[in-house]
A and B are shown apart, each in its own frame.
Chain A
Amino acid sequence: GQQVMQIPQYQHVQEGEDFTTYCNSSTTLSNIQWYKQRPGGHPVFLIQLVKSGEVKKQKRLTFQFGEAKKNSSLHITATQTTDVGTYFCAGPSGGGATNKLIFGTGTLLAVQP
């Protein structure tokens, strides 16, 4: 079945260092969404990428969607303690137009002040 994998599973950084998580899907995706889940919280929508090769920025966060629309990345510049949490990518089941999301395995980010 369709799988969405993320690496690394866990990353510990010093505050001010950069962080990147990579997302890979076994199928081509019509779009990819990114969510952040703080410890003890619920997933919060960050962004959606639709176009091949698309790059979007939100302050210190940069999101990319691969040319083949099977992979994506999230890069955080100069991490802060508020960035702590698990970052999930999610793609539509079967790759097409549906609200049934397949979530990635997630990357847990720990930031040491």
Chain B
Amino acid sequence: DAGVTQSPTHLIKTRGQQVTLRCSPKSGHDTVSWYQQALGQGPQFIFQYYEEEERQRGNFPDRFSGHQYPNYSSELNVNALLLGDSALYLCASSLSRVLSNQPQHFGDGTRLSIL
């Protein structure tokens, strides 16, 4: 039973570049959420995808966008990278159930460094 997988594990970019991070959810899960975790902080919710649509969004600028594919895998895209975008980007999957709060299953994350 495969858990949440993310790629790449590490990435180094320079300011102004664009990046795409990828996530495959845990088998049987259909909802993917993305979080940004700065060093020494708790994860911050970026957005959530379900049925190939962005369902909820946190307080992040439009430079952060995403996509979900029919097989439930997801991408996080960040444009015009800033130094402050350096962080661990976590993908979490869960089952969608109406009016309930599901435990989040996290991947190992992508460590993004901006030079």
Q: Which residues of A contact B (CB under 8 A)?
A: 1, 30-31, 33, 35, 41-45, 48, 88, 90, 92-93, 97-106
Contact = CB atoms under 8 A, between A and B. Distances in A.
Best-surrounded residue of A33, A43, A90, A104 (most CB of chain B within 10 A): A43
A105 B101 CA distance: 20
Interface string B55-99: 010110000000000000000000000000000001000101011
Given A31-B101, A99-B48, A104 B42 contact: yes
Contact of A98 (B35, B56, B107, B109): B56
What's the interface size class on B, roughly?
Answer: 20 to 34
B42 to A, nearest CB: 4
**Majority secondary structure, B binding face:** loop
B100 to A, nearest CB: 6
Interface of B: 31, 33, 35, 41-45, 48, 56, 58-59, 90, 94, 96, 98-109
Contacts of A100: 33, 45, 48, 56, 58
Nearest to B58: A100
